[in-house]
Amino acid sequence: MSAMRSSAPACPPAAARTPARRPAHHRRVLAATVALTAATVVLSAASAELGVAPADAGLALPPAAAPPPGPAVGPVDGHLPGQLLTDGDAQGSTRLQVNWGNQTPLQGQPVTIRGSAPVPSNRASRWVYLEEQATDSKVWGYLKDTRTDATGQFSLELTLERVNEPRRFRIRLDKAPGAPSVASAPATFSAVWKPAGPRTVTYPGLTLVWPGAEVLVGSTQVVVGTLATGLTRASATLQRQVAGQWADVASSPVTGLGAFTLDLPTTYLSHGEFRVRVAANGTAAVETPAQSVVAVPDYTPAGRAGSYALVSPSPVGRWNPCAPISYRVNTAKAPPGALPDVRTALEQITQATGLRFDYRGPTDVVPFAAGNTFDPAVADLVIAWADPAQMRGLFPAGTLGVGGPEFRAGAAVDPAGRPVRQIYQGGVTINTTFNKDLKPGAGEGLTRVAALMHEIGHAVGLMHVTGDEAQLMSPSIGYGLDRWGAGDLAGLELVGSGGGCVTPAA
């Protein structure tokens, strides 16, 4: 059994949300070795296996947290609280008036916040700041600003991209001659998601009601059908197109009145093509034309959908989604709470790919460490924390972690017989140097969940992508970047369940 090789160079430190520069890649062909250093993939003529070093060159951690843009911010009680006007006009008032508008808007729908401010003695316009309270503290952070007009009126637009996530905002006025700095009472907003309505499609003798073209991932969705004429012992089956083949996903008997209901799966983010097949005794089966249903996240993914790179683009390298991926976690040098954060990161991988993970317990294995053979008997995937001395130069200054896959040597195919490079092992190792720098959990700041999502992303087949800092697979971890960008999701869909089962070639 060959060890997972670890000759990939590491990324240098990088500023917050700024992709680190990677060494130029080179390609060389030797008599017994072919090396693709973009993923540091090594094929040895003397070995029956294909070994892969960390797919990333090391996730860079910014040296210090960058302050938010805009003016200085303070604690929740750092300014004089404002009050709403109930009478009088804004110009003659010493108070701040805010009309927050709809505080439960649709996802992505702009909300206009309007208000009026006391006019200073010099009649000049005033700066108006929209601030948000951090979820884990009483500190208010700057979001955007505007200026009042001659009468003290102002307006700002706010757009929420994530649904069912309460967020607290306030308006703060800058100090002006004869007018002190003042902050409004906080207002809580929470966006809601409203999908497109159901689609009714009528065929000769059959009517189907499909969900909207976009549905929220994890939501309950059904296809409801009605046959115009009763059929003896009829059944209906919902099928999904996988790798060019139609696969059954749900079945239901047809009632005596010709009605049936089929559950449509939405467990992971995907673009699905579905059809309904109706069969009955003594009658030829009827198959409807395909309908598209896209399972989308509860936020609008940032960046460009084309911003992704695969460890193995052709043929695509991926795990077999039809079997659970066993994993173990080495927490010997991990900070408290590391195991729950691993589970959270894997849940995000599952939601984006449909891959399933099965926890098998602890281990003392450290992927990519010197002399540490990666034994598939341990687990398919191992996640660990280690110090730089264990990692044979893979943790130069500023490198937060490494991760990557290992490919099976023999040929493999998808359900349509197309070649696939099957991943059968993977590893992630986080640098203990940064145990105190990474905030536990997810959310704002530099989070442990974001770092784990990035490195496990490599283990399931993604490479770094440069030129789009909105992607979690950017070489440098970003502040508050703990969710997939549009490019991340596009790449994860390619290496996920949508490609169908992976089996050995005949």
Q: Given 296, 323, 352, which residue is the final one in a domain?
A: 296
- Structural domain including 485 reads 27-66+302-504
Q: What is the total count of domains within the chain?
A: 3
> Which pLDDT value is given to residue 33?
22
**How confident is the model at residue 375, as a pLDDT?**
73
Which pLDDT value is given to residue 502? 95
Buried b / exposed e over 142-179, threshold 16 CB at 10 Å, is beebbebeeebebebebebebbeeebebbbbbbebeeb
Tell me the mean pLDDT in the region 285-304.
90
The percent of residues in the chain predicted with pLDDT above 90, rounded, is 54
Q: Are residues 310 and 228 in the same domain?
A: no
- Strands 50-52 and 59-60 turn out to be unpaired
The mean per-residue pLDDT over the stretch 18-25 comes to 28
Question: Tokens in use for 43?
Answer: 């094929």
Sign of CA dihedral 435, 402, 328, 482: positive
Assess if residue 154 is contained within a domain.
Answer: yes
- Is 71 within the bounds of a domain? no
Task: Flag whether 10 is in a domain.
Answer: no
Cα of first residue to Cα of last residue in the chain, in angstroms, is 24
What value does the mean pLDDT take over residues 351-377?
87
Band the pLDDT of 9: cuts 50, 70, 90: very low
Give the residue from 185, 207, 240 where a domain finishes. 185
Choose between 48 and 105: higher pLDDT.
Answer: 105
Buried/exposed code over 109-137 (b: 16+ C-beta within 10 A; e: otherwise): eebebebbbbbbeeeebbbbbbbbbbeee
Per-residue confidence (pLDDT) for residue 369, from 0 to 100:
87
13 lies in some domain: no
* Average pLDDT for the chain: 80
Does residue 362 register a pLDDT over 90? Answer: yes
Are 462 and 488 a contacting pair, CB within 8 Å?
yes
Strands annotated E in 245-386: 245-253, 259-264, 270-280, 283-287, 291-296, 317-318, 325-330, 357-362, 381-386
Both 53 and 94 in a single domain? no
Asked if 456 contacts 473 with a C-beta cutoff of 8 angstroms, the reply is no
d(CA 374, CA 473): 24
- Over 70: is that where the pLDDT of 239 sits? yes
Domain holding 222: CATH number? 2.60.40.10
Cα separation, 457 vs 491, in Å, equals 10
Among 118-127, 411-420, 489-498, the range scoring the smallest mean pLDDT is 118-127
Same domain, yes or no, for 318 and 463?
Answer: yes
pLDDT band at 269 (very low <50, low <70, confident <90, very high): very high
Whether residue 413 sits in one domain with residue 363: yes
Q: Would strands 235-242 and 270-280 be described as parallel, antiparallel, or unpaired?
A: antiparallel
142 Cα distance to chain centroid: 25
pLDDT tens-digit readout, 188-219: 998 887 777 899 999 888 999 999 999 999 99
pLDDT at 110 over 60: yes
Task: Give yes or no: residues 119 and 267 share one domain.
Answer: no
Name the residue with tokens 């998808």: 414
What band does 5 get if pLDDT is binned at 50, 70 and 90? very low
Residue 492 falls inside a structural domain = yes
Q: Give dist(CA 15, CA 66) in Å, integer.
A: 9
Residue 74 has pLDDT above 60, yes or no: no
Rounded to an integer, what distance in angstroms lies between the CA atom of residue 484 and that of residue 463? 14
pLDDT at 59: 60
Could you tell me if 238 and 355 lie in one domain?
no
Share above pLDDT 70 across residues of the chain, in percent, rounded to a whole number: 79
Query: Is residue 38 located within the same domain as residue 86?
Result: no
The candidate with the shortest Cα–Cα distance to 403, out of 353, 337, 342, 354, is 342
- In this structure, are 371 and 284 located in the same domain? no
Rounded to an integer, what is the distance from CA 113 to the centroid of its chain? 30
Q: What is the pLDDT of residue 31?
A: 23
Q: Is residue 58 packed enough to be buried (19+ CB in 10 Å), middle (13-18) or exposed (0-12)?
A: buried
Q: How much is the average pLDDT of 480-486?
A: 84
CA 108 from chain centre, in angstroms, equals 17
Reported confidence tier of residue 79, pLDDT bands at 50, 70, 90: very low
- The continuous run of DSSP H or E covering 341 comes out as helix 338-353
Q: Predicted confidence band at 451 (pLDDT cuts at 50, 70, 90)?
A: very high
Q: Contact at 8 Å (CB) between 271 and 294?
A: yes
Asked whether residue 358 is assigned to any structural domain, the reply reads: yes
* β-strands 325-330, 357-362 pairing: parallel
Predicted local confidence at residue 42, as pLDDT = 25
Closest to 406 (Cα-Cα) out of 436, 431, 428, 437 = 428
8 Å CB contact between 468 and 302: no
Note the pLDDT tens digit of each residue in 331-346: 999 999 999 999 999 9
Q: Is the pLDDT of residue 25 over 50?
A: no
Amino acid at 401: G
In a domain, 75, yes or no: no
Binning pLDDT at 50, 70 and 90, where does residue 444 land?
A: confident
- 299/308 Cα distance (integer angstroms): 19
Q: Is residue 190 part of a domain?
A: no
The pTM for the full model equals 0.71
Query: CATH no. for residue 360?
Result: 3.40.390.10
Give per-residue pLDDT as tens, 131-178: 998 876 778 989 999 999 988 999 999 998 888 788 999 999 988 777
User: 87 pLDDT exceeds 50?
Assistant: no
Pair 223, 364 in one domain: no
Residue 416 predicted with pLDDT over 70: yes
pLDDT at res. 446: 86
> Does the pLDDT at position 14 exceed 70?
no
Q: So what's the pLDDT on residue 26?
A: 24
For residue 254, pLDDT over 50 is answered with yes
Q: Would you state the pLDDT for residue 112?
A: 94
84-93, 110-119, 161-170, 423-432: segment of lowest average pLDDT? 84-93
DSSP type of residue 93: -
Residue in the block written with tokens 């809580």: 188
Asked if pLDDT for residue 365 goes beyond 80, the answer is yes
Indicate the residue among 124, 157, 185 that finishes a domain. 185
Tell me, what CATH number does 122's domain have?
2.60.40.730
Q: Do 485 and 368 share a structural domain? A: yes
- Do 171 and 112 meet the contact criterion of CB atoms below 8 Å apart? no
| Number of C-beta neighbours around residue 245 at 10 A | 13
Of 219, 320, 218, which is closest to residue 268 (Cα–Cα)? 218
β-pairing verdict for 381-386 and 419-431: parallel
Residue 495 pLDDT more than 90? yes
CA distance to 53, 380, 411, per residue, from 48 (Å): 16, 18, 12
For residues 340 and 327, give the distance between their C-alpha atoms in angstroms, rounded to a whole number.
14
Residues 361 and 249 in one domain: no
Predicted confidence (pLDDT) at residue 277 exceeds the cutoff of 90? yes
pLDDT at residue 60, as a whole number: 57
Q: In this structure, are residues 237 and 250 in contact, taking their beta carbons and an 8 Å threshold? A: yes
Residues 356 and 468 in one domain: yes
Mean pLDDT of 400-407: 92
